[in-house]
């Protein structure tokens, strides 16, 4: 449950990146700011490319004692020595993932704007649920995860909650008392200095 403590940062990789340069960029961000977890999210379905990216990111994250979870590809998690999986299907595959990966794996579930899906994911064994997008005009089906959803969740449910999707300083300021994690990705990677960009978002938490 969200409380008076400042939310933690959950970093999401870009959907595509150069293996020659991104690990160094990721390392710089992790060295500059405390990050609880990194999600490897690639748009490609090429398992060889995903595996090479996982190897490169794992070297960076594990050297800094930061967990690395993989988006969607449950079958690759153990093989690549990763810490868990983030599932985008509103909790439908959480139970199977938990059975396959065991109790120690991190299993998260993206639940859009649905508190029902969030509760279902929690009952199935998810370690956290993510709601979003919280901002942006043209994401997904046009709906947003409003502050009221996070307010209700933080008051009623103990399972950690993640706010993600087109975050900016105003949204972070508004949601900081209501969420456990902010998932930050595209918001910083296009900036000239991603570490500085993340620093500005963290400062907005208050």
Segment 85-101 mean pLDDT:
94
Please state at what angle helix 194-203 crosses helix 22-32, rounded to 10 degrees. 30
Establish if 2 belongs to a structural domain.
no
Alpha-carbon torsion (36, 85, 40, 148), positive or negative: negative
> What is the residue range of 167's domain?
8-203
Query: Residue 131: left (phi > 0), alpha (psi -120 to 50), or beta?
Result: beta
Structure confidence at residue 143 (pLDDT): 85
Per-residue pLDDT reduced to its tens digit, 164-192 = 999 999 999 999 999 999 999 999 999 99
How many structural domains are present in the chain? Answer: 1
Establish if 3 belongs to a structural domain.
no
Establish if 15 belongs to a structural domain.
yes
Residue 2 clears pLDDT 50, i.e. is over it: no
Segment 154-167 mean pLDDT:
96
Establish if 126 belongs to a structural domain.
yes
| Cα dist from 87 to 65, 119, 140, whole Å | 22, 15, 16
Establish if 21 belongs to a structural domain.
yes
Establish if 39 belongs to a structural domain.
yes
Buried b (16+ CB within 10 A) or exposed e, 50-77: beebbebbbebbeeeebbbbbbbbbebb
> Is residue 79 within 8 Å of 66, Cβ to Cβ?
no
Phi/psi of residue 157, each to 5°? -120, 135
Structure confidence at residue 5 (pLDDT): 82
Share of the chain above pLDDT 90, in %: 92
Per-residue pLDDT reduced to its tens digit, 15-72 = 999 999 999 999 999 999 999 999 999 999 999 999 999 999 999 999 999 999 999 9
Residue 3 clears pLDDT 90, i.e. is over it: no
**Distance from C-alpha of 110 to C-alpha of 125, rounded to nearest angstrom:** 13
pTM of the predicted model as reported, rounded to 2 decimal places: 0.94
Domain CATH code at residue 111: 3.20.20.70
Under the banding of pLDDT at 50, 70 and 90, the label for residue 138 is low
Per-residue pLDDT reduced to its tens digit, 94-136 = 999 999 999 999 999 999 999 999 999 999 999 999 999 999 8
Establish if 122 belongs to a structural domain.
yes
Structure-block tokens of residue 124: 């199935």
Establish if 196 belongs to a structural domain.
yes
């Amino acid at each position: 449950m969200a409380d008076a403590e400042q939310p933690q940062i959950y970093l999401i990789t870009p959907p595509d990146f150069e293996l020659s340069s991104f690990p160094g960029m990721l390392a710089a961000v992790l060295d500059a700011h405390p990050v609880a977890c990194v999600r490897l999210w690639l748009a490609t379905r090429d398992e060889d490319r995903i595996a090479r990216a996982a190897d490169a990111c794992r070297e960076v994250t594990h050297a800094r004692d930061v967990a690395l979870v993989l988006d969607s590809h449950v079958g690759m998690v153990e093989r690549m020595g990763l810490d868990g999986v983030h599932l985008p299907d509103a909790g439908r595959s959480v139970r199977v993932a938990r059975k396959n990966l065991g109790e120690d794996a991190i299993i998260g579930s993206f639940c859009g704007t649905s508190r029902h899906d969030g509760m279902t994911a929690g009952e199935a064994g998810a370690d956290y649920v993510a709601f979003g997008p919280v901002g942006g005009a043209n994401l997904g089906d046009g709906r947003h995860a409003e502050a009221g959803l996070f307010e209700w969740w933080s008051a009623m449910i103990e399972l950690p909650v993640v706010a993600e999707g087109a975050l900016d300083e105003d949204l972070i300021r508004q949601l900081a008392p209501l969420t456990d994690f902010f998932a930050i990705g595209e918001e910083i990677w296009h900036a000239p200095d991603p570490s500085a960009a993340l620093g500005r978002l963290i400062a907005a938490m208050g």
